[in-house]
Amino acid sequence: MSHDFCNFAFLMRRNILAALLLCIYISSSAQEHTTDSTDVFWKHLELGEVVVTGLVGDTRVKEMATPISVIPATELRSRASSNIIGTIAREPGISEITTSGGISKPVIRGLSYNRVVVVNDGIRQEGQQWGDEHGIEIDGASVHSVEILKGPASLMYGSDALAGVIIFRPEPVAMPGTVSGDVSAEYQSNNGLAAYSVHASGNSSGWIWDARFSDKNAHAYSNRYDGAVPNSGFAEMAASAMFGRNAKWGYSRLRASYYHLTPGIIEGERDPLTGELEGGGIGYVPGLPFQQVRHFKVVSDNTVHIGTGDLKAIVGWQQNRRQEFEVSADECGLDFRLNTLNYDFRYQANIAGDWKFAAGIGGMLQESENLGDEYLIPAYRLLDAGLFSTASKTLGQWTVSGGLRADVRLLRSEALEGRFNPFERTFDGITGSVGAVRPIGRHFTLRINAARGFRAPNLSELGSNGEHEGTLRHEIGNTDLKPEYSLQADLGLDFTSKYVSVQSALFVSRIDNYIFAARNGAVSDEGLPVYAFMSGTAHLKGAEISLDIHPVHSLHIGSAFSCVYAKEAGGDDLPLIPAPRLFSEIKYEFSHGGCTLSNSFLALNLDWNFAQKHFYAKDDTETATPAYALLGLSAGADIMYRRHKLASVYLIGSNLTDEAYQPHLSRLKYAEENPVTGRRGVFSMGRNITVKLVVPIGRQ
């Protein structure tokens, strides 16, 4: 089905191009009868002026050769999810691997795990991303906006950015001479999620500061097939602070944060007579087994203006502590402690008119320790370094950009008698990209890009040997694995007018030494299926098409289709590839002027996930996934008094038809079969109603 709908997307693109000719005529005719052609702009047209992270520093979206999605603060607040990855997963080409309500891993165009780099506070987040049940240790309330770069971004971020990069932006610095903040609260009906966050920031004579505290608790979620799912609840607490200085010479900021997550681990065991899920942890306190995840981070972010450019220096330290409690709540089994020192030094400048240039060095030092009495991966040390140089220039109507990077990674694992043998590996790679953007007439924009990516295998793939709690499997690594190298081409064509906006993107990629885990037919001593890591040549291709129609000032009709089709060179489908997806929404924005309600809206959406019949079937590694559709309804408004905003209120309904479904990327699909119904695995959350309240506070 994935292949069929990818072909459909390619054909659909032809139809869209034909329809765009009509759109041009409509737009041109409309502009002949208006005195101000700038009174109404499309979201995409406005987005083109947004400044994001580019190859040579800050770059406008319309000058980016690679596909990018930008999610502003207002859009993030109008969505509902248990975690920040679930919040962004409705973007075209973005999916999530889920294990429970509090754990989600990002997927970009079918690629996940260490192929996606997550950037927060200016440095790459390092929290043991290799595990299925290892989420992203970031407080969603602290995220102001999100940038998603799709496609190989090794040029900017080195190894692991094979699929792309997700950048979480913090709150902007407060305006000079002000102290402001907000208090937010959220409640979800299905899992009783109760959350609040308190935020304050200030700016006095160039001295800036920011502080936030967040807390979140959820009990077990439920659906109409499983009822309440034991141990699916979680608790989350986070705190962060920033202090810095803005001056004519540049700025210096010191950020510190602490994140603590306690998620239950869903085992999916059932009563053989009734078929009901067994285990405790229905309430707000997870039962056994559960995890304790703590993440500390300190980042020094500095910029000094030199000549026509900026010298940037970012140094960060992170510690990730992950403990798993299986038998006793007082004594853990697995206990990983990961220390990471990140560094990034670069100079970026505008030179010789319209030339933009950047060069630098970046990387990390890492040490992982096993502190418990159970083991899955060996302790190790890692040294990572990369040199890069990028440039862009405007040549007539073309904006051309590209660059080169050289990376080396040194890795040494430690021995553990009876479990792990020591080994040392060195990985290196040369990556690069070249792309161009060109407007065609008044309405079209053409984007072309080619990039080579690089990813070194992680310790789980190389050296794992043990039961992986939460994934329901025993994993075996392969120390002979080679680095992954990708070659990807992107072609995009955008259309923007007064009434219609269309974005289309096609991509094709080849990945040599593509690494994945598959069942080998054996069963471990614990009775779990054994998964071994292997590699091969992967071929991926896909499409993303977004349509936005704005027939009147207040009405938006939007739809986005995305798909990816992935196979090994031998013809087998690859595992963990999302199904084709169509997300459609009708949104009406009410205009109230100076009334009590302002910026209010009402939106109806349908999230249609097609059946996934292309899956890795060897040794029952994966199974097919049927289609499902999720109906949503949301509304929101700012409450005003004498032209001052008192609060923002959002009401969001998800899965209103109470559909019982399993996403293809859900790890809970492969839990025990219900002996009564014959259904395998655990299903996702049923109907859910979310209420959000944001109250701004501040003084001059």
Q: Is pLDDT larger for residue 309 or for residue 594? A: 309
pLDDT in tens, 84-133: 999 999 899 999 988 876 788 899 999 988 899 999 999 999 988 887 77
pLDDT in tens, 491-527: 999 999 989 999 999 999 999 999 988 888 788 877 7
Residue 297 banded pLDDT, cuts 50, 70, 90: very high
pLDDT in tens, 525-548: 777 888 899 999 999 999 999 999
Q: Is pLDDT larger for residue 611 or for residue 498? A: 611
Max mean pLDDT range (12-26, 54-68, 682-696): 682-696
| Residue of 240, 244, 264, 265 whose CA lies nearest to 253 | 244
Residue 445 · residue 490 · CB < 8 Å = no
- What distance in Å separates the CA atoms of residue 548 and residue 563, rounded to the nearest whole number? 19
| Residue of 149, 92, 141, 74 whose CA lies nearest to 118 | 149
pLDDT in tens, 195-225: 999 999 999 999 999 999 999 999 999 999 9
Where does 441-523 show beta strands of DSSP type E?
444-455, 465-468, 473-476, 484-496, 500-523
Element (H, E) at 2: helix 2-31
Strands 529-549 and 473-476: parallel
pLDDT in tens, 124-157: 999 888 877 788 999 999 999 999 999 887 777 8
Name the residue ranges covered by the structural domains of the chain.
2-699
Q: Which two tokens stand for residue 457?
A: 């295998």
pLDDT in tens, 396-436: 899 999 999 999 999 999 998 888 999 999 999 999 999 99
pLDDT in tens, 14-33: 333 333 333 333 333 333 33
Element (H, E) at 43: helix 43-47
Residue 468 has pLDDT above 90, yes or no: no
| SS3 label, residue 577 | coil
Q: What confidence score (pLDDT) does residue 29 get?
A: 34
Residue 628 has pLDDT above 50, yes or no: yes
Residue 68 banded pLDDT, cuts 50, 70, 90: confident
| Residue of 669, 486, 463, 661 whose CA lies nearest to 575 | 669
Compute CA distances 170 → 181, 226, 240, whole Å. 13, 38, 11
Q: Which two tokens stand for residue 157?
A: 């971020």
* Secondary structure in 3-state letters for 274-308: CCCECCCCCCCCCCCCEEEEEEEEEEEEEEEEECC
Q: Which two tokens stand for residue 6?
A: 């990818």
**Peptide bond preceding 289: is omega within 30 degrees of 0, i.e. cis?**
yes
Q: What confidence score (pLDDT) does residue 594 get?
A: 62
Compute CA distances 299 → 295, 439, 693, whole Å. 13, 39, 30
Of 504-508, 552-556, 603-607, the one with minimum mean pLDDT is 552-556
Single-letter amino acid code for the residue at 135: G
Q: What confidence score (pLDDT) does residue 272 get?
A: 92
pLDDT in tens, 313-345: 999 999 999 999 988 888 998 999 999 999 999
pLDDT in tens, 632-653: 999 999 998 888 889 999 999 9
pLDDT in tens, 349-359: 988 778 889 99
Single-letter amino acid code for the residue at 82: S
Q: What is the CA radius of gyration of the chain?
A: 25
Q: What confidence score (pLDDT) does residue 552 get?
A: 84
- What distance in Å separates the CA atoms of residue 495 and residue 547, rounded to the nearest whole number? 9
Q: Which CATH superfamily is domain 2-699 in?
A: TonB-dependent receptor, beta-barrel domain (2.40.170.20)
- What distance in Å separates the CA atoms of residue 549 and residue 421, rounded to the nearest whole number? 60
Q: Is 329 left (phi over 0), alpha (psi -120 to 50) or beta?
A: alpha
Q: What confidence score (pLDDT) does residue 667 get?
A: 86
